[in-house]
């Protein structure tokens, strides 16, 4: 905490009555008001504002720039804790949600100095314990060092290695991590390059290297026997017989999804890596102890193999390579460590580092499990491989994970549907946009319409559908005016959105017309005896659906009249929540071009269209105006104070709903876990990365009660309320690997299911 925050709070509270953080921000924020959360961040979380804000606060006489680096005085009020943070409720324990904290280590090493190497391994194990690591993977032969040549066949040397193993095992008794170290060991008169799995004071098993490189600079067959056929065996280490072989999977006694397979260096480079069978036998985390020397381009090659393995076999892959300290007689070493999960790189060490480094990330074995049960090709591969689990030995792995709130160390995308790779942002947006364009192009080619009919509201969805339609006709060499656009103001339409609608139609040079639906809506409300027709301000679902239905009815009749078809504008987020009028309403169209695109991605794609100059500068200005407008169906008249109907006030923030949707639909994660992930992703705007070019003014944060509230709403809507609407949706292209909701595609569900199971899981496991 700093002195400035203390002075700021005291200054606010000196007013009569005291100024709230929100009122202070509105009254004194320059050039734009400061949100209350920002003010609280300065006061209670030790955050420091930009120089411009510091200058403004100094002008007001509140505090000086130097106060931001001065510590608070002793009477400072206690710092506000992070929302609901607690060590007592199991919700805050990442292990409760299926995470395993994994790490790679490149310890200090000296060639052939076993005592030195042993001490370095134990030091790193203690560092990992302090970081609450569950699994620590070391490099190949780290206990002895790798570049030993003929020294590895010296009896005295091998005996010292074995006693050092005992020292590591003893040291592990009081430590949390499972340790996987590398060492040369003798078995039945043969010398093997081995990986040793150690946990809680026990040597659980030993895995020999299957493939020995003996080409170019490698010469391992001179010293070691391969372990490909070592199965069902045991090895005697320090007077104790332990399981030995390539048929071992180590299964946690604390987390039944945490199953571990081990391979060594060259095994990963072989055409048939042992880790494939290990994964098919049930291992969710595959590890590789490596002493791979570094040459130009080899780092990329390691990434390629590890990424493809983790994606192809639905697992995590933890890789640790030898580094500084290995003999450089004829080689060099970079100490690369990384962790892939389902093809995603979630952590990587700094290469060529002189001193030891822990590369730490929390692996989601629950997510891995969810991917496997959805991928029936994985099931087929298990059968084709002769059910490896039937011939593998499963070694019980007792370990000591740290309980309580130890945080979460892994990237969690706030916007899982939005491309988050800045260096490939344009490419990803290009793909998403062109999937929609190509789908609509094919439908136009198949039906040969004379027109494309589109309702334009001035909102996000219809704007994006218009962008796609415009690109489609441009590529087909068709005139823009075959896109027949209609804006249809109703009782809640504002001048702002109506103006945006007209500007859009004019900027895109489409056929443009306006049809006021209020007279027809009034007549229908009169015919059905609705209270609004009698002058009462009743704005119920019927009142809204009359307008939504009329708009769709007009569009279908206009399509018939003009030999065309209706382009649907509704998006994936609305389908998930059932936020669409069924039948003769915005749920229906001839082709639903946005049905595979969630609201958060539509916003991002429109920003991309502006940034990449897909259209004219005049058009870009209108697109930006649409982005800056609050999301609203505009079916209810504007209030007395000018307030408009807000969709997100009714169904919740779309950024949260899209987060829930992705993790429930794509991975099948339980609601409490999704809430845990959302809490870590959204609780602080300063934590984690935002998508590139995401405007600061649009950045939000949510506390746990807010997340819980809107998740409960989402579960009711998604599982119980809205499936019947999705069961009858028109065609539309799938865009994201996160999934789509067409009953002919990703999602099939009964329309009369109930949400009790999911609601109960949420209420039992997420604190209020």
Among 684, 124, 99, smallest CA distance to 349 is for 124
Q: Under a CB-based contact definition with an 8 Å cutoff, are residues 87 and 405 in contact?
A: yes
Q: Do 461 and 604 fall within a single domain? A: yes
Q: Which of 108, 124, 140, 266 is catalytic?
A: 140
Query: Is 575 a domain residue?
Result: yes
The three-state secondary structure class of 236 is strand
DSSP string, 527-555: HTT-GGGGT-----HHHHHHHHHHHHHHH
Query: Is 492 a domain residue?
Result: yes
Q: Do 241 and 297 fall within a single domain? A: yes
Among 456, 455, 480, smallest CA distance to 469 is for 480
Query: Is 88 a domain residue?
Result: no
Q: Which of 265, 286, 359, 485 is catalytic?
A: 265
Q: Do 265 and 221 fall within a single domain? A: yes
Higher-confidence position of 628 and 245: 245
| pLDDT (mean) for 283-307 | 92
Q: Is 377 annotated as a binding residue?
A: no
CA separation for the pair 128, 148 (Å, rounded) = 28
CA separation for the pair 494, 759 (Å, rounded) = 38
Q: Do 264 and 224 fall within a single domain? A: yes
Q: Report the domain count for the chain.
A: 3
Using the 3D structure, point to which of 349, 382, 397 is the last residue of a domain.
Answer: 397
Domain that holds residue 570: 422-765
Contacts of 706 (CB under 8 A, 6+ apart): none
Q: Is 462 annotated as a binding residue?
A: yes
DSSP string, 669-722: --HHHHHHHHHHHHS-TTSS---TT--GGG-----HHHHHHHHHHHHIIIIIIS
pLDDT in tens, 255-266: 999 999 999 999
Task: Tally Cβ neighbours within 10 Å of residue 39.
Answer: 25
Q: Do 542 and 496 fall within a single domain? A: yes
Query: Is 210 a domain residue?
Result: yes
Q: Is 599 annotated as a binding residue?
A: no
Residue 206 parent element (H or E): strand 202-208
Residue 59 has pLDDT above 90, yes or no: no
pLDDT at 526: 96
| pLDDT (mean) for 176-183 | 97
- The least confident of 76-80, 138-142, 464-468, 500-504 is 76-80
Question: How confident is the prediction for the chain on average, in pLDDT?
Answer: 91
pLDDT at 380: 97
Q: Do 379 and 515 fall within a single domain? A: no
Q: Do 105 and 62 fall within a single domain? A: no
Task: Tally Cβ neighbours within 10 Å of residue 115.
Answer: 12
pLDDT in tens, 115-129: 999 999 999 999 999
Q: Is 209 a catalytic residue?
A: yes
pLDDT at 87: 52
| pLDDT (mean) for 420-435 | 82
CA separation for the pair 752, 719 (Å, rounded) = 9
Q: Is 702 annotated as a binding residue?
A: no
pLDDT in tens, 236-280: 999 999 999 999 999 999 999 999 999 999 999 999 999 999 999
Provide the 8-state DSSP code for 92: G
Query: Is 415 a domain residue?
Result: no
Q: Is 315 a catalytic residue?
A: no
pLDDT in tens, 203-212: 999 999 999 9
pLDDT at 75: 46
Q: How confident is the model at residue 357 (pLDDT cuts 50, 70, 90)?
A: confident
Q: Is 67 annotated as a binding residue?
A: no
Torsion of CA 325, 331, 337, 342, to 10 degrees: -160
Q: Do 446 and 361 fall within a single domain? A: no
pLDDT in tens, 490-512: 999 988 889 999 999 999 999 99
Contacts of 660 (CB under 8 A, 6+ apart): 674, 678, 710, 711, 714, 718
Q: Do 231 and 148 fall within a single domain? A: yes
pTM recorded for the entire structure: 0.84
pLDDT in tens, 365-386: 999 999 999 999 999 999 999 9
pLDDT in tens, 515-563: 999 999 999 999 999 999 999 999 999 999 999 999 999 999 999 999 9
What's 169's domain CATH number? 3.60.110.10
What's 556's domain CATH number? 3.40.50.620
Q: Which of 102, 162, 194, 209 is catalytic?
A: 209
> For the chain, first and last CA: distance in Å?
28
Query: Is 337 a domain residue?
Result: yes
Q: Is 240 a catalytic residue?
A: no
Query: Is 567 a domain residue?
Result: yes
Q: Do 109 and 30 fall within a single domain? A: no
Q: Do 537 and 433 fall within a single domain? A: yes
Q: Do 309 and 426 fall within a single domain? A: no
pLDDT at 80: 39
Query: Is 19 a domain residue?
Result: yes
């Amino acid at each position: 905490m700093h002195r400035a925050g203390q002075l700021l709070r005291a200054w606010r509270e000196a007013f009569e009555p005291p100024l709230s953080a929100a009122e202070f921000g509105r009254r004194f924020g320059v050039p734009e008001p400061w949100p209350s959360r920002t003010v609280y961040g300065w006061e209670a979380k030790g955050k420091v504002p930009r120089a411009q804000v510091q200058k403004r606060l100094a002008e007001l006489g509140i505090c000086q720039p130097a106060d931001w680096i001065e510590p608070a005085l002793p009477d400072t009020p206690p710092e506000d804790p992070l929302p609901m943070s607690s060590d007592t409720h199991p919700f805050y324990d990442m292990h409760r949600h299926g995470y395993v904290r994994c790490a790679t280590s490149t310890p200090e090493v000296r060639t052939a100095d076993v005592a030195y190497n042993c001490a370095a391994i134990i030091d790193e194990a203690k560092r990992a314990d302090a970081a609450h690591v569950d699994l620590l993977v070391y490099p190949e032969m780290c206990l002895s060092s790798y570049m030993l040549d003929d020294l590895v066949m010296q009896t005295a040397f091998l005996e010292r290695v074995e006693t050092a193993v005992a020292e590591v095992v003893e040291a592990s008794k009081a430590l949390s991590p499972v340790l996987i170290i590398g060492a040369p060991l003798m078995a039945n008169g043969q010398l093997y390059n081995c990986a040793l799995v150690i946990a809680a004071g026990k040597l659980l098993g030993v895995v020999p290297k299957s493939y020995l490189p003996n080409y170019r600079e490698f010469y391992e067959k001179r010293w070691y026997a391969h372990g490909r056929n070592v199965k069902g065996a045991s090895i005697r280490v320090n007077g104790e017989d332990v399981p030995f072989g390539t048929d071992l999977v180590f299964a946690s006694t604390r987390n039944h999804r945490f199953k571990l397979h081990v391979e060594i260096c060259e095994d990963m480079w072989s055409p048939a890596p042992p880790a494939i069978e290990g994964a098919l036998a049930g291992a969710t985390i595959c590890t590789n102890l490596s002493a791979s020397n570094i040459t130009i381009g080899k780092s990329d090659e390691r990434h390629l193999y590890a990424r493809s393995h983790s994606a192809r076999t639905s697992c995590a892959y933890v890789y640790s390579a030898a580094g500084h300290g290995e003999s450089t007689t004829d080689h060099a070493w970079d100490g690369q460590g990384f962790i892939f999960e389902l093809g995603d790189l979630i952590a990587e060490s700094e290469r060529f580092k002189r001193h030891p480094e822990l590369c730490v990330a929390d692996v989601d074995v629950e997510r891995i499990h969810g991917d496997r049960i959805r991928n029936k090709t994985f099931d087929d591969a298990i059968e084709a491989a002769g059910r490896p689990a039937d011939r593998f030995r499963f070694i019980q792995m007792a370990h000591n994970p740290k309980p309580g709130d130890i945080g979460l160390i892994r990237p969690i995308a706030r916007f899982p549907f939005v491309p988050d790779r800045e260096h490939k942002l344009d490419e990803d947006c290009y793909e998403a946009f062109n999937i929609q364009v190509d789908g609509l192009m094919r439908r136009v080619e198949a039906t040969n319409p004379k027109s494309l009919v589109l309702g334009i509201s001035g909102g996000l969805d219809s704007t994006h559908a218009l962008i796609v339609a415009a690109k489609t006709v441009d590529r087909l060499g068709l005139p823009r005016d075959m896109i027949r656009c209609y804006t249809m103001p109703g009782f809640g339409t504002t001048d702002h959105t109506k103006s945006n609608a007209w500007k859009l139609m004019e900027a895109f040079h489409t056929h443009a017309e306006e049809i006021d639906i209020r007279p027809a809506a009034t007549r229908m409300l009169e015919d059905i005896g609705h209270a609004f027709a009698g002058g009462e301000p009743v704005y119920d679902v019927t009142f809204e659906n009359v307008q939504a239905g009329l708009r769709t009815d007009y569009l279908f009749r206009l399509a018939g009249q003009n030999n065309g078809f209706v382009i649907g504008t509704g998006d994936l987020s609305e389908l998930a929540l059932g936020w669409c009028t069924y039948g003769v309403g915005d749920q229906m169209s001839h082709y639903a071009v946005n049905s595979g695109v969630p609201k958060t991605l539509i916003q991002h794609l429109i920003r991309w269209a502006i940034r990449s100059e897909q259209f004219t500068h005049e058009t870009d200005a209108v697109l930006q105006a649409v982005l800056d407008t609050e999301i609203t169906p505009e079916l209810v008249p504007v209030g007395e104070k000018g307030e408009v109907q807000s969709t997100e006030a009714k169904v919740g923030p779309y950024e949260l709903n899209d987060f829930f949707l992705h993790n429930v639909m794509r991975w099948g994660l339980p609601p409490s876990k999704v809430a845990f992930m959302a809490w870590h992703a959204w609780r602080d705007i300063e934590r984690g990365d935002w998508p590139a070019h995401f405007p600061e003014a649009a950045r939000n944060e949510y506390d746990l009660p807010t997340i819980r509230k809107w998740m409960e709403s989402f579960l009711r809507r998604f599982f119980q309320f809205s499936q019947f609407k999705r069961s009858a949706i028109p065609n539309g292209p799938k865009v994201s690997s996160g999934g789509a909701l067409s009953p002919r595609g990703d999602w099939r569900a009964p329309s009369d299911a109930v949400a009790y199971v999911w609601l109960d899981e949420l209420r039992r496991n997420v604190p209020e």
